[in-house]
Amino acid sequence: MHYVKSKGILSANNGMNLYRGCSHGCIYCDSRSRCYHIDHAFEDIEVKENAIELLSETLRRKRKKCMIGTGSMTDPYIPLEMELEHTRKALSLIEQYGFGCTLITKSNRVLRDIDLLKKINDKTKCVVQMTLTTFDEDLCRKIEPNVSTTRERFEVLKQLRDAGIPTVVWLCPILPFINDTKENIEGILDYCREAKVYGVLCFGMGLTLREGNREYFYQQLDKHFPHLKEKYMEKYGESYGIESPKSSELMKVFHETCEQNGIVHDNDRIFAYLNTFEEKHRDKQMSLFE
């Protein structure tokens, strides 16, 4: 861990990353790509020491309420969060100033903050996004070694459901010759159905590889899936988009299963939902005078 001072906290789209780098160890992580200019060891977490002060000042000055997002680059619930509590402090500010929130995580540590998530959702909207890639628990531990397993994340989704907090699942990436099976897709979607998720984001059955994350991914293939790296190199070369040979078949399973179970599976519609700020208390007040 090391500290830096930041000049700003929110992006143009009102997203923030309180940390840079990650210790989850997911073998496919795109955030390792060199284009993101993380110039330190990826597991050496960079902490924006003035992030909470910046966020407080930024939210105080904002004229228009909106959804605040976090987790696009670094999971907000890495183990270090339990010590520093930057995510919890940020959620507290979001609730205090009346903004909405959406976050992306793979960790059951999010349940520590369920009280704040409920408070935000009672006022406006709070959506928890959870990545699910691998129904098989043993396989999950190989490709996502230092984070909650898929079954544990499913249990989180159910607790969020029971708390009335809406959820969205990211079904990605799907790794060719590893988890690109009908059984895997159906198993994950069964979890989504039972947890009553609002929607599932899917960008095709495959993954992206570019300078930085490709090298790490291939190292992990050598470690966990001997000789598979050579198969990737022969089939895909230096391609950025890596599509499963079963993509068409699996996408059909994905769309049909979601449609049958009332799960939103249009990416544009889901992103519109995530980005739309709502003020529930005003709606309730207006209904009294209608």
Confidence of residue 285 (pLDDT cuts 50, 70, 90): very low
Let me know: does 90 contact 55? Beta carbons within 8 Å: yes
The contacts of residue 116 (CB under 8 Å, 6+ apart) are 88, 91, 92, 95
* pLDDT value for 130: 98
* pLDDT value for 48: 94
Pairwise CA distance, residues 159 & 111, whole Å: 8
> How confident is the prediction for the chain on average, in pLDDT?
95
* pLDDT value for 281: 54
Dihedral sign of CA atoms 244, 219, 20, 124 in order: positive
pLDDT digits (tens, 9 = 90+) for 168-177: 999 999 999 9
- Is the pTM here over 0.85, yes or no? yes
The structural domains of the chain, ordered by start, are 2-287 (3.20.20.70)
pLDDT digits (tens, 9 = 90+) for 40-61: 899 999 999 999 999 999 999 9
- The rounded radius of gyration (Å) of the Cα atoms in the chain is 19
Buried b (16+ CB within 10 A) or exposed e, 203-212: ebbbbbbbeb
- Asked if pLDDT for residue 283 goes beyond 80, the answer is no
pLDDT digits (tens, 9 = 90+) for 75-129: 999 999 999 999 999 999 999 999 999 999 999 999 999 999 999 999 999 999 9
* pLDDT value for 287: 42
Minimal CA–CA distance to 122: which of 102, 98, 105, 103? 98
Residue 243 CB neighbours (<10 A) = 17
Question: In this prediction, what percent of the chain has a pLDDT beyond 70?
Answer: 97
* pLDDT value for 289: 37
DSSP code for 264: B
Let me know: does 20 contact 46? Beta carbons within 8 Å: yes
Minimal CA–CA distance to 235: which of 211, 206, 203, 204? 206
Minimal CA–CA distance to 191: which of 138, 159, 151, 141? 151
Phi, psi of 132 (to 5 degrees): -130, 125
Q: For 266, how many CA atoms within 13 A lie in the half-sphere containing its CB?
A: 6
pLDDT digits (tens, 9 = 90+) for 268-277: 999 999 999 9
Pairwise CA distance, residues 107 & 149, whole Å: 8
* pLDDT value for 280: 77
pLDDT digits (tens, 9 = 90+) for 216-258: 999 999 999 999 999 999 999 999 999 999 999 999 999 999 9
